[in-house]
């Protein structure tokens, strides 16, 4: 049966080849979403191994984190940008899961993150989620969860209403604007949890900061932050 399934899969692969979301070449057996070469070429930060990494420093004095990291460097025109673009705007949610698994492997290798007990993706604006149809960070979280064997929650941290455009506002205005955005449902269920807050790309960190502050107002034990990529 396995052989027949393999033959059918090979035949379907000839008609509808699975292509790498990084470079567009046809994937081999066993390759999922991203080809071996693209995976090898990804610019890993190894931030999970350094407490004083640039992402952790970004949050110093802003929120109290057990650990904060991003897996990849994000540069304009790079393969990382291309992959994340496909995840966010081209319905390539499986790529989010695969990148999440790579992230999960790194988190699991670090004592800082090993005690994670619940993974929470940063919620999108409700309007944005409606127009996109999904939250890309939720798929990253699911990939992490598969590796770390920890549950994902999308029901505790809630984004309440649409914020006005942030592009022309200063950092403090943005901060003020974000504060009213997040709320917690059933905070008692978060008691003593080590929460891993997950986002796609970290730039200013203002969204993670606002959601982190909201979570830290509940009786959680620890808060950590992980993102796919960090934009310097
Ligand atoms: Zn590739």
pTM for the model:
0.88
What's the 134 CA to ligand 1 centre distance in angstroms? 24
Between the CA of 53 and the centroid of ligand 1 the distance, in Å, is: 28
CA–centroid distance, residue 92 to ligand 1 (Å): 14
Which pLDDT score is estimated for 20? 95
State the pLDDT at residue 210: 94
Neighbours of 13 (CB within 10 A): 14
Q: Please, what are the domains in the chain?
A: 1-41 (no CATH), 42-230 (3.40.50.2020)
List of residues 6+ apart from 140 with CB closer than 8 A: 96, 97, 99, 100, 103, 121, 198, 200, 228
Task: Give the per-residue pLDDT at 36.
Answer: 96
Cα 122 to ligand 1 centre (Å): 28
Q: Alpha-carbon distance 2 to 215, whole Å?
A: 47
CA 158, chain centre distance (Å): 16
Distance 31 CA to ligand 1 centre (A): 10
> In the chain, which residues have pLDDT < 50?
none
C-alpha 68 – ligand 1 centre gap (Å)? 28
Contact 24, 40 (CB under 8 A): no
Residues 104, 122: Cα–Cα separation, whole Å: 17
> Do 122 and 166 touch, CB atoms closer than 8 A?
no
How is residue 147 written in tokens? 């590796």
- Taking the centre of ligand 1 as the mean of its atom positions, its distance from the CA of residue 188, in whole angstroms, is 44
Do residues 87 and 136 touch, judged by C-beta distance below 8 A?
yes
pLDDT (tens digit, 9 = 90+) per residue, 164-205?
555 555 666 655 566 678 999 999 999 999 999 999 999 999
- Tens of pLDDT, residue by residue over 35-51, are 999 999 999 999 999 99
């Amino acid at each position: 049966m396995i052989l027949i399934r393999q033959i059918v899969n090979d035949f379907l692969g000839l008609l509808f080849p699975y292509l790498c979301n990084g470079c567009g070449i046809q994937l081999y057996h066993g390759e999922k979403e991203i080809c071996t070469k693209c995976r090898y070429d990804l610019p890993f930060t190894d931030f999970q191994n350094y407490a004083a990494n640039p992402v952790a420093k970004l949050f110093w004095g802003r929120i109290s984190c057990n650990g904060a990291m991003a897996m990849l460097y994000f540069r304009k025109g790079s393969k990382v940008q291309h992959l994340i673009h496909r995840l966010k705007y081209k319905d390539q949610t499986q790529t989010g899961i695969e990148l999440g698994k790579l992230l999960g492997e790194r988190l699991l290798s670090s004592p800082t993150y090993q005690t994670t007990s619940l993974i929470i993706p940063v919620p999108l604006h409700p309007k944005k989620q409606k127009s996109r149809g999904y939250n890309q960070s939720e798929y990253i979280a699911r990939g992490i969860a598969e590796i770390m064997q920890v549950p994902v929650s999308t029901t505790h941290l809630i984004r309440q209403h649409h914020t006005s455009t942030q592009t022309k506002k200063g950092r403090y205005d943005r901060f003020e604007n974000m504060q009213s955005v997040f709320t917690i449902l059933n905070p008692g269920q978060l008691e003593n949890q080590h929460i891993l807050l997950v986002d796609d790309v970290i730039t200013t960190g203002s969204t993670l900061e606002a959601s982190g502050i909201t979570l830290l107002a509940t009786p959680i034990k620890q808060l950590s932050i992980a993102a796919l990529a960090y934009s310097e």
